[in-house]
Structure 1
């Protein structure tokens, strides 16, 4: 089972892009400890070398979804700014959200299409209304239906209906793909500063583990 987790600096300053890179390293190490595979499948670089505005991480393994849940929400990297020594701020927030990366495509197989002759009105006069020359094509898996009556002969309308049905399914797939992309874009604006589910910081020499802040208690809840 695989899960995709998006880490984003949102509209935060350059330190948040730096925090994404630091948290990505921490997430990868934590995933390895839990025997969950992790790899970056997409990234947007920050303005500074070695920083990211966002990264999309794929997590693989039976415990991938459970592991991702522990990293979902607002994350905080707690350290002084490496770029503005004079600022007193030490908390840099990042959002982490599971997301879909693509939408399934609909395979067009003619055996999945039920085509019947039917009558329709329109140009052609009485002959057209009395003869069942129109074609109604139904794609059984999706329920998509098209009707074509542009020709006087059924076999021509049938061929046109199959072409139109294939086109409609492709358009539906493209629309679904755009919806997935739009949903991912919206995730970048869901960053909520404060109330972090995890607070990570540079470790002193020889130290291991991470501080995890409880969402409900609002204080460090343990190490993991």
Structure 2
């Protein structure tokens, strides 16, 4: 199983970029502990030393979904700014997102169908009588091109293959642009609040959340006792 993950500061200030750098360290440490393989596909440095604005990582391994369920979402850091000592803000947020995998199309000759037909336009009687024009069709995508530049069917076939490669590359480029748009939307749509993980202090200590119903039951008991005293 493979997943592509993006850790981003969004439009946050330098403090958020610093948090991205710290989260990246923790994230990679955990991936190694879990035995996952990783490749950093892209890293955008922040404006200040030791900061990262955004990083994109490809992960591979078993049970990735369970692991990422504890990371994907908003990450909160509670601490004093490392760049602005007297800044009042103490809560900083970044985002961890899963990106859609982009499948790059590859042009293989076995995936191409050819059709021959008569050429049209100037070129003499031979051009119009012989099936020298070639249509090349990429069976995977349905993309097709026509070449009728030459009187030679063989030459037109070569031209058609070259043009088909250009068309398939255009499809890959369009997919890449869509992926970049998704990344940019992740920058813009970073949610503040309801964090999946919370870290505190300059040592970046992970603050574990207390789960379960025991605290809620105890609170309910205390409320009932208080109501009993109020009624007396």
CA distance in 1, matches of 2:192, 2:152: 66
In structure 1, C-alpha distance between the alignment counterparts of 2:5 and 2:210, rounded to whole Å: 19
Residue 165 of structure 1 aligns with which residue?
A: 164
Please tell me the root mean square deviation across aligned C-alpha atoms, in Å: 3.1
Structure exhibiting the larger radius of gyration computed from Cα positions: 2
Q: Cα deviation per residue 1:115-153 (whole Å; 9 max; x = unaligned)? A: 222235433577655543321222223322112223344
Q: How far apart, in 2, do the equivalents of 1:41 and 1:162 lie?
A: 31
Between the aligned partners of 2:111 and 2:30, the Cα distance in structure 1 is 46
The residue correspondences of 1:59-208 to structure 2 (distance < 5 A) are: 59-99=59-99, 103-109=103-109, 111-119=110-118, 121-124=120-123, 131-202=130-201
The alignment partner of 1:83 has SS state of coil
Higher helix share: 2
Q: Normalising by the residue count of structure 1, what TM-score does the alignment of the two structures yield?
A: 0.76
Distance 1:33 1:209, change over 3 A: farther
The 1-side partners of 2:158 and 2:191 are apart by 54
Q: Which whole-Å CA distance do the structure 1 matches of 2:177 and 2:82 have between them?
A: 38
Partner of 1:7: 7
SS, match of residue 48 in structure 1 = coil
Indicate how the Cα distance of structure 1 residues 36 and 108 shifts in structure 2: closer, same or farther if over 3 A, else same.
Answer: closer
CA distance in 2, matches of 1:124, 1:47: 61
Question: Does residue 1:211 correspond to 2:216, yes or no?
Answer: no
Aligned residue for 1:44, secondary structure, equals strand
Task: Tell whether the 8 Å contact from 2:79 to 2:202 is kept in structure 1 after alignment.
Answer: no
Give the Cα separation in 2 of the matches to 1:130 and 1:9: 64
Matched positions, count: 210
Residues 113 and 88 of structure 1, relative CA distance in 2, 3 Å threshold: same
Deviation at 1:100, TM superposition (A): 5.0
Structure 1: unaligned runs, 5 residues or longer = 215-224
Change (3 A) 1:36 1:148: closer
User: Displacement of 1:168 after TM fit?
Assistant: 2.0
